[in-house]
Chain A
Amino acid sequence: MSVLTSGDHPDTAPGATANGANAAAVDLGPATALSCRECGERFPLGPIFACTSCFGPLEIAYDFPADGPEALRARIAAGPNNIWRYAPLLPVPADVAEHPNLNPGCTPLVRADRLAAELGITGELHIKDDSGNPTHSFKDRVVANAVEAARAFGFTTLSCSSTGNLAGAVGAAAARAGLRSCVFIPHDLEQGKVVMAAVYGGDLVAIEGTYDDVNRFCSELIGDPIGEGWGFVNVNLRPYYAEGSKTLAYEICEQLGWKLPDQLVIPIASGSQLTKIDKGLKELIQLGLVEDRPYRIFGAQAEGCSPVSRAFKDGHDVVRPVKPDTIAKSLAIGNPADGPYVLDIARRTGGAVEDVNDEQIVAAIRLLARTEGIFAETAGGVTVGVTRKLLAAGVLDPSATTVVLNTGDGLKTLDAVAGTTGPSATIRPNLDSFREAGLA
């Protein structure tokens, strides 16, 4: 039944899990094991995230269905109108759609002809608008997968380190699933994100430091007895959580009629989303769901936190951490864990990594809103801004089919644009006053 394995490696040394999880007792659908992305060592499915030999990140190894592309397409088409239609390709049990979960996904792929005209794009331009998820960012996709892993491992508390969007997604998903939540954020986040993270009733802890400080704190907490029974979605559940980003690749291709786009522009925070979209595209090719043809992946960062862009331009294959200073707080990870993999992917696919400054981010948010009626959060301003910059530099092909990601809702980052836009006029409630304002 199983012929195709993703993330497989000939070295199948068993290795013990730190938490003693038993693979036989865990039903996570097609997921069979954890495999180190660096050295290939394998581990039973469990709440672990780093290789005991080399500290490399662990990834899910699968036995995918082997019933051929037509049958798989039909299975997907018959599935629910959310990410669980792709359950045969995710580390989740077959009956996942029956569990209480936020059921994100199937967000619009918007054909952006007016934006294309402004940018000088002659091919198809699409915005994958993930602001339509339940908590208005792509984070619902990854958290939904983490919730299933948390259930499988018997965790009762859901937690994370977050720059805001993830905190809200975890709070909401925990509320829906009936789990306790306790999430950690830097103390200086946008108010909208803080309120949204807190409203679901879980514990929200603001830490005096940057996101990287919060992350370090959580890594230490997880090794402490306090953290026992806690599922940190982006730490000890990270291998399962990260797989949720593959659904962006699946959806984009299905929405294009099971075709690969030629070019994708993807924001980079830790780099996990970009690497998993690439993984998802490769899986679709392996499974025969799309034709095997080249695609190019472009990464987008904010200038004030651009360690991956810097490394790409300098020709390095490792990333030197930076201290973030940008309005794009959702991308403000100065020490991006998947940075080296992003560099590999951009180079392998003939893509690039570029950055834009805060002024360009705001201009791009307004451009997207004005041309397509999509109000993006700052991360969307980063991708649209980088698209514009790469087109001007002749790096992006204007005649190709291009997909640009917007991963969050502009209502979350109102402060970024509040000072640049507002009423055209303030008038008295009569026609003369309206005429005088020159708007009639």
Chain B
Amino acid sequence: MSVTVRIPTILRTYTDGRSEVTAEGGTLQEVLADLDRNHQGIAARVLDDDGRLRRFVNVYVNDDDVRFTEGLATPTPDGAGVSIIPAVAGGAR
């Protein structure tokens, strides 16, 4: 299954500057693994040493924050959009 992954500015050194790339996989975990095969090192930026999502990264599959769904096991249906976004933004009142 093919999905589109939006890459934040600070990770575009891994994607030759591209803001959007495609990846294969039926779950977010598989998508990140495939992403890392094509853009070596990118997964280690998103996941910590224990393989969990880093504390300051938010990942969305379509419009859903995966922390609300199944985390790395969240299904990524064909044609889905995955967004990786730094969590630091926030704090508007």
| A interface list, Cβ under 8 A from B | 18, 38, 48-58, 137, 139, 160-167, 211-216, 218-220, 222-224, 232, 234-235, 238, 242, 269-273, 318, 320-321, 330-331, 333, 335-338, 340, 379, 407-408
Whether A272 lies near B45 (C-beta < 8 A) is no
Contact with A along B60-93 (1 / 0, CB 8 A): 1001010110000000000000010111111111
Which of A49, A223, A321, A338 has a CB less than 8 Å from the CB of B65?
A: A321
- Residues of B contacting A56 in the complex (Cβ-Cβ under 8 angstroms): 55-56, 88
8 nearest A-B residue pairs (beta carbon): A270-B91, A337-B90, A50-B86, A272-B91, A55-B56, A270-B90, A162-B92, A166-B92
A223 touches B93 (CB 8 A): no
Chain B residue nearest to A377 (CB atoms) is B93
Minimum C-beta distance from B24 to chain A (A)? 23
- B40 CB-CB contact with A under 8 Å: no
Whether A139 pairs with B93 at a CB distance below 8 angstroms is yes
Q: Does B54 contact A (CB under 8 A)?
A: yes
6 contacts between A and B (CB under 8 A): A51-B56, A54-B45, A216-B83, A234-B92, A270-B90, A338-B91
Docked-complex contact A57 and B93, CB < 8 angstroms: no
From residue 36 to 65 of chain B, which have CB atoms closer than 8 A to chain A? Answer: 45-46, 54-58, 60, 63, 65
**In the complex, what's the smallest C-beta–C-beta distance from A351 to chain B, in angstroms?**
20
**Residue in A closest to B10 when the chains form the complex, CB atoms:** A52
CB distance from A317 to the nearest CB of B (A): 10
Closest to A169 in B: B93
Closest to A224 in B: B19
Q: Which of B68, B83, B89 contacts A235 (CB 8 A)?
A: B89
Please name the residue on chain A nearest to B57 by beta carbon.
A55
- Once the chains bind, are B56 and A338 in contact (CB under 8 Å)? no
Residues on B with beta carbons closer than 8 Å to the beta carbon of A57 = 56, 88
Number of B interface residues in the complex (CB < 8 A): 29
Is A318 in contact with B55, judged by CB distance below 8 angstroms?
yes
Q: Is the CB of B93 within 8 A of A407?
A: yes
Q: What chain A residues lie within 8 Å of B88 (beta carbons)?
A: 49-50, 55-58, 235, 238, 337
CA distance A215 to B56 in the complex (A): 14
Q: How far is the CA of A301 from the CA of B60 in the complex (A)?
A: 26
Please pick, from A162, A164, A337, the residue contacting B87 in the complex, using a CB distance under 8 A.
A337
A279 to chain B, nearest CB (A): 14
Task: Specify which chain B residues have a CB less than 8 angstroms from the CB of A18 in the assembled complex.
Answer: 9-10
Chain A residue at minimum C-beta to C-beta distance from B54: A55
Contact B90 A234 (CB under 8 A): yes
Pair B93/A269 contact, Cβ less than 8 Å = yes
What separation, in Å, do the CA atoms of A99 and B57 have in the docked complex?
36
A212 and B63 CA atoms in complex are apart in Å by 11
CB distance from B13 to the nearest CB of A (A): 8
| Distance of B54 from chain A, by nearest CB (Å) | 5
- Which of B60, B87, B93 is the most central at the interface, judged by chain A CB atoms within 10 Å of its CB? B93
